[in-house]
A and B are shown apart, each in its own frame.
Chain A
Amino acid sequence: MAGLTQTAIRRELSAAVSACASGLFETANAASFGIAISEFESWLVAIGQKYLPADCSQRDAEDLLGSLRVADLTLARACAAGQERAWEQFMARFRELLYDIALKISRESSQAKDLADSIYAELYGLNEREGERVSKLSYYMGRGSLEGWLRTVISQEFVNRYRSTKRLVSLEGEEEEGSQFAAPERIESAPADSRVEVAVAQGLSTLDPESRFILSAYYLDGRKLAEIGRMLGFHEATASRKLERITKALRKVVLEGLIQRGMTERQAEEALEADVRDFQVNVREALLQEKDVSTFKKRRS
């Protein structure tokens, strides 16, 4: 079955690659880096295989391939292959930018320099894996811009470094480093009826992913609506209206769930309105305690 799936993917993808490769090859200007079209097509197939679902159509494949940043992809792959001319272009475009990105993320010059140097080393392939020089640029798939990808990589590195540092900080370290490395705040929840918690968790499960993301970003991360809007690609006012609609819908679902669990309507309203903050606390706890296990990436055999 998996083999048939692979064959199906290859057929639809192959057809899409055949249809798009020549045009994308010209757009990428890959020939200037000495890259053959066959090699270029292999890149496209690999990317398609990684991101296309099993039931994709040729149209889906063509849409995916058409959205790729093939010029950046070519540059990155040429750099990963060690081409000097490609590195010259990469350095001219991104050397200063790496430090600027690191500085904006870390907001501190020494950390920024450390981050930038670390990422630069990984990009250049100073690290060896199984005896081969591996450049981090080889993992770039062209789904977004190369600059955005670099920003994401640096952010991930920053989060990984300092989140692990936070986990390992001592009590004395907390006092010295201040709130940046302080332990996360403990959420104080009022001793609510367990039926409320269950109803809230049930209500959250009915929400669409975007609504849950909005609730998580707002209640758990404390992000502002403007930032949430930017994350999702709409205006702050839209984010505000969405949050209000989500909260009302969730409240309604929770009330219905409480009624189903034996409460009267009045009891259910009182359970939610006794302390408005409790409702938010319940939502936060429910968001943190999601248990269903499902991998994000489809594992391919």
Chain B
Amino acid sequence: MQTADAAHPDADLLTAFVEQLLMPREREQLLAHLAVCPDCREVIGLVLPETPELVVQPAPKPAFWRWPVLRWGTVAASVVIIVGAVTVGLRERTGNKSVTEYIHVAVQKSGHSASTQPSAPGDTSRSNDVISENRSATGASGLKSAQIRYEKLPEDQKVAARAELDKLTMSPAPAARAEIGQAAMGNAVRDTSAMSKEELSRFAAERAPQQKSGWLVEPVDPHHALNAALPKPLEVSKESPLVSDVRGIPPPPPPPPPSSANEVVVVKQDEDKFAYSQNSALGGTAKKSATEHEVQALPAPQLQASSEVVASTARHTESKAKELRKDSDASGFVAGQSSDVFDMSQDWRIATDGELQRSPDKGKSWLPVMAAAKFRSLAVVGTEVWVGGAKRLLMHSIDAGQSWMNIVPKDKNVSLTGDVVSIRFADQKKGSVVTSSGETWTTEDGGQNWRKP
């Protein structure tokens, strides 16, 4: 056995040892010396290169494309991205198109140009101007101006004009309504969470005239957004605001049968004249089952746009409704299409004067919602908002107030009566409504069907 006092190996041997170049016997002898010689061990330690050149390198990792998980994951991610992009693109296109089409239909029906005089039959030049003008002004500013012009109509003409347009634009109703509502309200429905106080005041002032102009007259008229799609101007005759150039055109074919029992009855509060089913295409009457909402449709419109336009509109709206139904929850309510989504952290309240208010900033400021209407009860579950008021007024929004639907609970041909004084929803499906007449109505499916115990 060697000792530290033995002759130390020369630099060549130590170097060869570090570089793994020694003969086996030499290596054994050197190791025996190194085991007892701290100096030589220290030299070996100093000679070792800093990079572990002598360490066996691990096997190279396979290229990522050889990993099945990454390969298929990449493919799946690409598919998701493409589908999402196509879906978004389709929605944007169809959204704009549907708004434009409704305006087109409304203009066709009215036959009026921007001037106050009704055009002669067959005179479509000014109508085309209006169409192009409206199309170019499809945005909120154009709709707003059309809205203001509608305000100037006499009340009796307003009713008829609105009814005709509602028939055209309502069905298959909620989907298109919400869409048009979004388009009409688009510029007014903005994410206010980032607004300054001055901006918020301006925003409220902009909206206030709209809501006090009669669009949402008492009782609440949820079609105010649709009304905004009316062309400008709507100087209609006493006979009918939408008579002129399309008289004599046969009415459109009857609507397809309802695809589901889910119906939303939109009611004009005062006379229940305008009741529409989301499944009635272009007017007409649809009889519903006892457990469903009763549908009352207006008489067939006196004035219709060309059947082709109407049919295409119906087809479009139906397809759009189907598309939007896919986006809705199981209750069948359709989500809004606007990209201006309210901050979900908004708070809701009913002021002392019955005004429904929304706060985008956790209560620092409050904005009126449907200011023309007065409410007495409120329930909020996530993004779904229920508000109730006088004379069976019950409104429901699934998109934090961007769009609203008027709900009239019915059960076996019996409708809710009285004022809605209390609303309670444990979740999005189960809830109850109590009226001033002592009635309690419950729903298990988010308001699609109601029962009165």
A binding-site residues for B, Cβ under 8 Å? 51, 53, 60, 63-64, 67, 104-105, 139-145, 148-149, 151-153, 155-156, 158-159, 163, 205, 208-210, 212-213, 215-217, 220-221, 223, 226-227, 229-231, 233-236, 287, 290-297
Report chain A residues within 8 Å CB of B35.
Answer: 209, 212-213, 215-216, 287
Known A152-B43, A158-B46, A221-B41; judge A291-B3 contact (CB<8 A): yes
Subset of 24 A-B contacts with CB under 8 Å: A67-B16, A143-B13, A143-B15, A143-B21, A149-B12, A149-B15, A151-B46, A151-B47, A152-B15, A152-B47, A153-B11, A159-B43, A213-B32, A226-B52, A230-B55, A233-B20, A287-B36, A290-B3, A290-B36, A291-B1, A291-B3, A292-B3, A293-B5, A296-B33
**A18 and B380 alpha carbons, distance in the complex (Å):** 101
Complex Cα–Cα for A148 and B32 (A): 22
0/1 string, B40-52, CB within 8 A of A gives 1: 0111111110101
Kindly state whether residue B129 has any CB partner on chain A within 8 Å. no
- The CA-CA distance from A158 to B43 in the complex, in Å, is 9
**Are B2 and A294 closer than 8 Å at their CB atoms?**
yes
Q: How far is the CA of A144 from the CA of B22 in the complex (A)?
A: 9
Are A235 and B55 also in contact (CB < 8 A) when A209-B32, A212-B31, A216-B34 are?
Answer: yes
Quick one: given A290-B36, A296-B33, are A142 and B28 in contact (CB under 8 Å)?
A: no
Instruction: For the complex of A and B, list the 5 residue pairs with the smallest distance between their C-beta atoms, beginning with the closest.
Output: A144-B15, A209-B31, A292-B1, A212-B35, A155-B46
B1-26 contacts to A (CB < 8 Å): 1-3, 5-16, 18-23, 25-26
Q: Once the chains are docked, how many angstroms separate the CA of A191 from the CA of B3?
A: 26
Q: Which residues of A contact B22 (CB under 8 A)?
A: 143
Q: Are B12 and A143 interface neighbours, CB within 8 A?
A: yes
Question: A231 to B53, alpha carbons, bound, how many Å?
Answer: 10
Residue B29 at the chain A interface, CB threshold 8 Å? yes
- Check A290/B1 contact, CB under 8 A, given A155-B47, A159-B39, A212-B31: yes
Q: With A144-B19, A292-B3 given, is the CB distance from A156 to B11 under 8 Å?
A: yes
Docked-complex contact B14 and A152, CB < 8 angstroms: yes
Per the bound structure, the CA–CA distance linking A227 and B45 in Å amounts to 8
| A139-B11 contact, Cβ under 8 Å, with A144-B19, A155-B43, A233-B54 | yes
Q: Distance in Å from the Cβ of B131 to the closest Cβ of chain A? A: 80
A213–B34 touching, CB < 8 Å: yes
Q: How far is the CA of A1 from the CA of B220 in the complex (A)?
A: 125
Cβ-closest chain A residue relative to B36: A290
Q: Is B38 part of the contact surface with A, judged by Cβ < 8 Å?
A: yes
| Residues of chain B with a CB closer than 8 A to A215's CB | 35
Q: CB distance B15 to A229 under 8 Å? A: no
In the bound complex, what is the Cα–Cα distance between A234 and B34 (angstroms)? 17
> Which A residues touch B426, using CB under 8 A?
none
Asked if A63 meets B46 with Cβ closer than 8 Å, knowing A139-B10, A144-B15, A149-B15, the reply is no
User: Which of A51, A140, A223, A234 is the one whose CB lies under 8 Å from B56?
Assistant: A234
Of the listed residues A105, A139, A163, A297, the one surrounded by the most CB atoms of chain B closer than 10 A to its CB is A297
Residues of A contacting B46 with CB < 8 Å? 105, 151, 155, 158-159
- Assembly CA distance A159 to B46 (angstroms): 9
Q: In the complex, A210 Cα to B35 Cα: how many Å?
A: 8
Known: A149-B11, A159-B43, A210-B31. A227 touches B48 (CB 8 A): yes
**A143-B16, A145-B15, A233-B20 known, 9 other contacts, Cβ within 8 Å:** A67-B16, A141-B10, A144-B15, A152-B43, A156-B43, A209-B34, A230-B55, A290-B3, A294-B2
Cα(A184)–Cα(B29), bound, Å: 28
B310: min CB distance to chain A, Å: 80
Contact B42 A159 (CB under 8 A): yes
CB neighbours (8 Å) of B3 from chain A are 290-294
A294 nearest CB across to chain B (Å) = 5
The interface on chain B, measured as residues whose beta carbon lies within 8 A of the other chain's beta carbons, has a size of: 47
Contacts of A290 in B (CB 8 A): 1-3, 36
Is B23 within 8 A of A63, CB to CB? yes
In the complex, which residues of chain A have a beta carbon less than 8 angstroms from the beta carbon of B44?
A: 231
| CB of A170 to closest CB in B, whole Å | 22
Contacting residues, chain B, for A148 (C-beta < 8 A): 15, 18-19, 47
Which B residues lie within 8 Å of A220 (CB)?
Answer: 38
Q: Which residues of A lie under 8 Å from residue B23 when comparing CB positions?
A: 60, 63-64
The CA-CA distance from A95 to B331 in the complex, in Å, is 84
Which residue of chain A is the closest to B42 with respect to CB atoms? A159
Taking a contact as CB atoms under 8 Å apart, the answer to whether B55 and A229 are in contact is yes
Chain A residues whose CB sits within 8 angstroms of the CB of B41 once the complex forms:
213, 216-217, 221
- Counting chain B CB atoms within 10 Å of each CB, the highest count among A51, A156, A227, A290 belongs to A156
Report A-chain residues with C-beta under 8 Å of the C-beta of B48.
227, 230-231
Q: Once the chains are docked, how many angstroms separate the CA of A104 from the CA of B10?
A: 21
What's the least CB distance linking A69 to chain B, in Å?
9
- Nearest to B48 among chain A residues (CB) is A230
Please give the distance in Å from B355's CB to the nearest CB on chain A: 75
- List residues of chain A with CB within 8 A of the CB of B8: 296
In the complex, what residue of chain B is closest to A151 when comparing beta carbons? B47
Report if A142-B11 is in contact (Cβ < 8 Å); known contacts: A53-B25, A156-B43, A231-B48.
Answer: no
CA separation between A105 and B28, bound complex, in Å?
Answer: 27
A153 cross-chain contacts in B, Cβ below 8 A? 11
By a CB distance below 8 angstroms, the chain A residues around B16 are: 67, 143-144
The residue on A at minimum CB distance from B1 is A292
- In the complex where A51-B26, A290-B36, A293-B3 touch, is A144 in contact with B12 (Cβ < 8 A)? yes
CB-nearest residue of chain A to B55: A235
Residues of A within 8 A of B56 (CB): 234-235
Provide the bound-state CA to CA distance between A84 and B33, in Å.
39
Give the residues from 371 to 387 in chain B that come closer than 8 angstroms, CB to CB, to chain A. Answer: none
On whether the beta carbons of A295 and B43 are closer than 8 Å, the reply is no
CB proximity of A205 to chain B, nearest CB, Å: 7
- Which single residue of chain A is at the shortest CB-CB distance from B18? A148
Q: Please state if B36 and A216 are interface contacts (CB–CB under 8 Å).
A: yes
User: Which of B6, B9, B46 is the most central at the interface, judged by chain A CB atoms within 10 Å of its CB?
Assistant: B46
Q: Which residue on chain B has the smallest CB distance to residue A216?
A: B35
The minimal Cβ–Cβ distance linking B31 to chain A, given in whole angstroms, is: 4
Chain B residue nearest to A140 in the complex (CB): B12
Residues of A within 8 A of B26 (CB): 51
CB pair A231–B39 under 8 Å, yes or no, is: no
- Alpha-carbon gap, A156 to B44, bound state (A): 9
How far is it, in angstroms, between the C-alpha of A31 and the C-alpha of B33 when the chains are bound? 39
A141 lies within 8 A of B12 (CB): yes
Roughly how many angstroms separate A104 CA and B45 CA in the complex, as a whole number? 12
Would A212 and B32 be within 8 Å (CB), given that A144-B16, A152-B11 are in contact? yes
In the assembled complex, the Cα of A140 lies from the Cα of B52 at a distance in Å of 25
Q: How far is the CB of B36 from chain A (nearest CB, A)?
A: 5
Known A60-B23, A144-B16: A205·B1 in contact at CB below 8 Å: yes
